[in-house]
Structure 1
Amino acid sequence: MNHPSSRADEIASRVEAFVRGTIIPYERDPRRSSHGPSDDLVTEMRSKARAAGVLTPHILPDGSHLTQRETAHVLKKTGLSPLGPLACNTAAPDEGNMYLLGKVGSPEQKKRFLDPLVKGEARSAFFMTEPAETGGAGSDPSMMQSTAERSGNHWVINGRKAFITGADGAKVGIVMAKSAEGACLFLVDLPNPAIRIERVLDTIDSSMPGGHAVVTIDNLRVAADQMLGESGEGFKYAQVRLSPARLSHCMRWHGAATRAQEIATNYVCQRQAFGKLLIDHEGVGFQLADNLIDLKQAELMIDWCADVLDTGSLGTAESSMAKVAVSDALFRVADRCVQVMGGTGVTQDTIVEQVFREIRAFRIYDGPTEVHKWSLARKIKRDFTHGSK
């Protein structure tokens, strides 16, 4: 089995010490709401991460990126607290947006839009999903309703977007709309008067600053040099982002589920019922044993998919398999942690309840389990058809 590199091991150790020692105490901070931590809390935590040398730890000082396998080792440590990815600047959607800009952005675009993200001085949002009531793009991006029309040396964008994570308070936007050539991606400075937040949705999760917004885009004018790549190539670029972003979700939430297991273990190894410790009751002990199995299988699935991506492959099918397997496994882990802790498990006295909520949402974010299975079934049919000729 491949072990993490020495550099990844060293970075991960520093990140873990920082998250456990400095960030976990912030879990009691009142600047956390149902729509995520406030921006001043994020700024405060990031200043401490910068001082500790663990800000954006997966991107090296020369701008190069850790391998996906190395990134997995580091991002799992940032996930040990729901606040860890924000503090260390490895959170969604910024982490995926940084990856995309690093791969596709021009030198000028990187300087203007990527540098502030890498430095942790700005948050970003990815404007792709659209409202169901208008028949817009959800799990099927080909249903894109938002339009982009040429106007001299500008593009004019119109449409509505939904479930846009972090839009409220973001400084960098990546907007997807369709031109005559097909899907396009545009880089936008935020806030912009042409991009109006209708409302921030009340959702089951609460770890992402700015929450998840419904947005109207009304005659947004964007200079031609702010298009990311070429007109009509937006879906291709989105694929560059999607597989690694799915996998980094798995990495971060693996850390959170690991922490929930630690908290549940601490609880059942001290709490007594019916004359013995809870851990000594099979109905409790076996659930935590099942958690160990799920956590290890999820870890191996993450590492396997990371290795595929590190070959240069898009890893579309592999990331779908990993996303389904890991999100379902980690949800079982979180659910059992709540269960073995009884009444305490459903309170906010520990973060177990929050981890349960967040991982429940993760089974939908970056593609619901069913969409990934449908995609894999299509691949099975395609492979069979080609193989039988």
Structure 2
Amino acid sequence: MAGEQPQETSALKARFDKFMEERVAPAEPTYNLQHAAGADRWVHPPIFEELKAEARSLGLWNLFLPDSESGPGLSNLEYASFCEAMGRIPFAAELFNCSAPDTGNMEVLVRYGTEEQKRTWLDPLLAGDIRSCFAMTEPAVASSDATNVEATIVRDGDDYVINGHKWWTSGAMDPRCKVAILLGKTDPRAETHRQQSMILVPLDTPGVRIVRPLTVFGYDDAPHGHAETIFEQVRVPSSNLLLGEGRGFEIAQGRLGPGRIHHCMRAIGLAERALELMCRRAESRVAFGKPLSEQSSLRERIAESRMEISQARLLTLHAADMMDRVGNKAARSEIAMIKVIVPRMACNVIDRAIQAHGGAGVSDDFPLAAAYSLARTLRLADGPDEVHLETIAKLELRKYR
């Protein structure tokens, strides 16, 4: 795996760590108070824009893109420690223009976008001036098998006409969200994995309708949010199609690998924070005449958590290293493994931390309940556990044929 980081990367990480410690972490209570008092839940409070501008001025921007002129060009392995630290605080990733689904959409445009598409959408996304969303999942079908999607993208002269019903369109509630990348069928008669295409849909196009924000265990995840969306006779220019008809699955494979590992990196940071809160609670709380830290059952839970986090981190770093050295396709099994292991681990660790906090753990006085909702969602987002387990098994069995 990796040796020592290059000097410039080490200097960048030191600058990043200082900013997280001195500016971002102390600002979290202020952010929460300002957001709660704000007139619009779907708008970030003032403290956010201040921190975002400061992060960009420090060169802490677009850290996720390897080989990019728009950022420091970190490898997946180098980015891992940055991304993990961002995962500790819900709004942190966006401060550095490193939040989903924008990261995945930017990667799609970098790899597959035309020059016109890049000028129109990629440039403002890289600058952090707008946000985007990804419209794939549908309520009427089992979207874990993307061949099921029923949204249609039909050619009509120089345009495509789009009809479909999507949900879990994360980020669409944000008023700065200006464009969706939508997966739909262009040719239902083609070979199964050549029926689907991806197309850019400006959200102000007539026929695009946000139905409602969806909740996760009661959390609406504002100001990010997850929308149910309707696309009804939505007409966009044919130049908005990405890569070509029938290339949707090809694009998806290129998009989802980095997105999955970023989710895992952030989830490790989330689990680390939960363990930290559990340990602080154990040292400060007394029950049955002695501190919780002297209770053997809780000590076991702390030890299990430490081991599980460290195991998950090592496998994630291994997957990142493979992506850098041999490419995303060759690292499919490793990416699938961490996508199962890391969210499961985070759920376990956060659940133990909730238990250690008693009734306070399930309240909003601590970030644990919200953290659990996020970790549990990751067992479904970007493919459910069952899909990844099937991938791992197929690739393993292939070795013996």
TM-score, structure 1 length as denominator? Answer: 0.90
CA 1:291–1:32 in 2, change beyond 3 Å: closer, same or farther? farther
User: Unpaired runs of 5+ in structure 2?
Assistant: none
* Counterparts in 2 of 1:290 and 1:367: CA distance versus 1, 3 Å: same
Residue 32 of structure 2 corresponds to residue 26 of structure 1: no
- Determine which of 317, 328, 336 is the counterpart of 1:313: 328
What corresponds to 1:140 in structure 2?
A: 145
Distance 1:320 1:382 in 2: 16
Alignment CA distance shift 1:286-1:247 (3 Å) = same
Q: Distance in 1 between matches of 2:240 and 2:142?
A: 23
Alignment equivalent of 2:284, drawn from 270, 295, 299: 270
Report the counterpart of residue 308 of structure 2 in structure 1: 294
Equivalent AA in structure 2 for residue 174 of structure 1: I
Q: Which deviations, in whole Å up to 9, do the C-alpha atoms of 1:85-142 show, x marking residues without a partner?
A: 122221111111112221211222122111111111111100111112xxx3510100
1:45 Cα offset (Å): 4.0
Report the secondary structure of 2:129's partner residue.
Answer: coil
**Other-structure match for 2:185:** 178
3-state secondary structure, aligned to 1:40: coil
Aligned-partner SS, 1:167 = coil
Within 5 Å, give how 1:232-381 maps onto structure 2: 232-310=246-324, 311-314=326-329, 315-381=331-397
Answer whether contact 1:291 1:333 (CA < 8 A) is retained: yes
Secondary structure of the corresponding residue to residue 216 of structure 2: coil
Could you say what secondary structure the match of 2:361 adopts? helix
Identity of aligned residues (%): 33
Report whether the alignment pairs 1:125 with 2:133: yes
Residue 17 (structure 1) shift? 2.7
Q: Larger deviation: 250-259 or 6-15?
A: 6-15
CA distance in 2, matches of 1:289, 1:257: 13
Out of 193, 212, 215, the residue aligned to residue 199 of structure 1 is 212
Determine which structure has greater relative contact order: mean sequence separation of CA pairs < 8 Å that are 6+ residues apart, divided by chain length: 1
SS at 1:301's partner residue?
Answer: helix
Aligned-pair distance for 1:75?
A: 0.6
Are the structure 2 counterparts of residues 336 and 10 from structure 1 closer, same or farther at C-alpha, using a change threshold of 3 Å? Answer: farther
2:43 maps to amino acid: D
**Is structure 2 residue 167 aligned with structure 1 residue 162?**
yes
CA–CA separation in structure 2 for the residues paired with 1:259 and 1:222: 44
**Alignment deviations for residues 4-46 of structure 1 (CA, whole Å, 9 cap, x no partner):** 623443333333332333233234334159xx96333354542
Structure 2: how far apart are the matches of 1:4 and 1:298? 21
For 2:230, what is the secondary structure of its paired residue? strand
What displacement does 1:286 show?
Answer: 1.5
Q: 2:205·2:235 contact (CA, 8 Å) conserved in 1? A: no
Given that 1:15 and 1:77 are in contact with CA atoms closer than 8 Å, whether structure 2 keeps it comes out as no
Q: Which moved more, 1:295-304 or 1:278-287?
A: 278-287
How has the CA–CA distance of structure 1 residues 15 and 190 changed in structure 2, closer, same or farther, with 3 Å as cutoff? Answer: farther
Aligned to 2:64: 58
Post-superposition Cα deviations, 1:208-262, rounded to whole Å, max 9, x if no partner, equal 6341111110111121221111110111111001111111000111112111222
Q: Does 324-333 or 312-321 show the bigger shift?
A: 312-321
Matched residue type, 1:200 = P
Q: State the SS of the aligned residue for 1:286.
A: helix
Q: Tell me the C-alpha RMSD between the 2 structures.
A: 2.3
More deviation in 60-69 or 184-193?
Answer: 60-69
Structure 1, unmatched stretches of 5+, are none
Q: Which amino acid aligns with 2:306?
A: L
Aligned length: 380
Mean Cα displacement is larger for which, 367-376 or 45-54? 45-54
1:12 and 2:4 correspond: no
Q: Secondary structure at the match of 1:249?
A: helix
The structure 2 residue matched to 1:46, chosen from 49, 52, 63, is 52
